[in-house]
Amino acid sequence: MTPSDTARPALSAGAQTLDRGLHILELLADAPHGLTVTELATALGVHRAVVYRLVTTLTSRGLVARSDGGRVRLWTGVVRLARGAFSELRTAAMPELETLARDVEATATLSVADGGEAICIAVVEPQNTVMHVAYRTGTRHPLTMGASGKAILAGHAPQPNEPPDVAAARRRGYVQTEGELQSGAVGLAAPIRVGAAPPEASVAVVSLAPLGPECAPRVVDAADRISRALTDAML
């Protein structure tokens, strides 16, 4: 039995193979420059031959690719899978983003974790304000900067050297930041939870004006409603 196996519940042979394949995808998601078969084998605690077979299968599905130098990276098949998940998430979130943008009079955003970054996948700008923050879908920033990323981190177990406001957000259910991504902009975000898994998405509002005390509960409620909509869609 490998060190990796001893840290996990006993699995059937088929389930163990699937578990290891998914673990490889998770490791590669956090390695923008890819990993070698040896590095993957070390991380999983298995023989290189096991990883080689798994990588061969994942390559045939277009989920990973091997460079001439032997490094393994995520490939376009992952984008195809993510697109389906993003579509369902956007569908559940758009009504809440529209309501937030109108009621809070601020730009509302939906972001997801992508490795060590947050990427914005939906934006609704308010139609009832003279000025507001312009935000683009596809915008990326480190999870450790800005309300959207920190809200996602707050839904995970505490990590060494995490930003102090992440710990505070973990207790109160939301995070508020100022000027971290854009000078003068205030952001407030809450994590979107689905089941018992750590959140990988957040809903946020961002404004050039101070956000009132009613804003935090509205954002938290929006995140909760999106979570329920996603959970119901899975039943």
DSSP track, 34-74: -B-HHHHHHHHTS-HHHHHHHHHHHHHTTSEEE-TTS-EEE
CA proximity to 97, closest of 120, 131, 130: 120
Longest CA pairwise span in the chain (Å): 64
Q: Do 77 and 62 form a contact (C-beta atoms < 8 A)?
A: yes
pLDDT category of residue 203 using cuts at 50, 70 and 90: very high
Residue 144 in tokens: 């450790």
pTM for this model (two decimals): 0.70
CATH superfamily, domain 79-234, is GAF domain (3.30.450.40)
pLDDT category of residue 5 using cuts at 50, 70 and 90: very low
pLDDT category of residue 4 using cuts at 50, 70 and 90: very low
CA distance to 86, 126, 129, 204, 214, per residue, from 217 (Å): 25, 19, 21, 12, 6
HSE-up of residue 103 (Cα within 13 Å, Cβ side): 14
pLDDT category of residue 135 using cuts at 50, 70 and 90: confident
Please name the amino acid found at residue 77. Answer: G
Residues of the chain with CATH 3.30.450.40: 79-234
Residue the block writes with tokens 């809070």: 104
pLDDT category of residue 80 using cuts at 50, 70 and 90: confident
More confident residue, 196 or 157: 157
Q: What percent of the chain has pLDDT over 90?
A: 57
Beta bridge partners of 74: 64
State the sign of the Cα–Cα–Cα–Cα dihedral 44, 49, 52, 56.
negative
| Mean of per-residue pLDDT scores for the chain | 88
Residues of the chain with CATH 1.10.10.10: 3-74
The tens digit of pLDDT for each residue in 156-175 reads: 888 888 888 999 999 999 99
More confident residue, 157 or 187: 187
Domain 3-74 has what CATH class? Answer: mainly alpha
Q: What percent of the chain has pLDDT over 70?
A: 92
pLDDT category of residue 9 using cuts at 50, 70 and 90: low
**Helix 48-60, helix 13-29: angle, nearest 10:** 80
The tens digit of pLDDT for each residue in 17-32 reads: 999 999 999 899 888 7
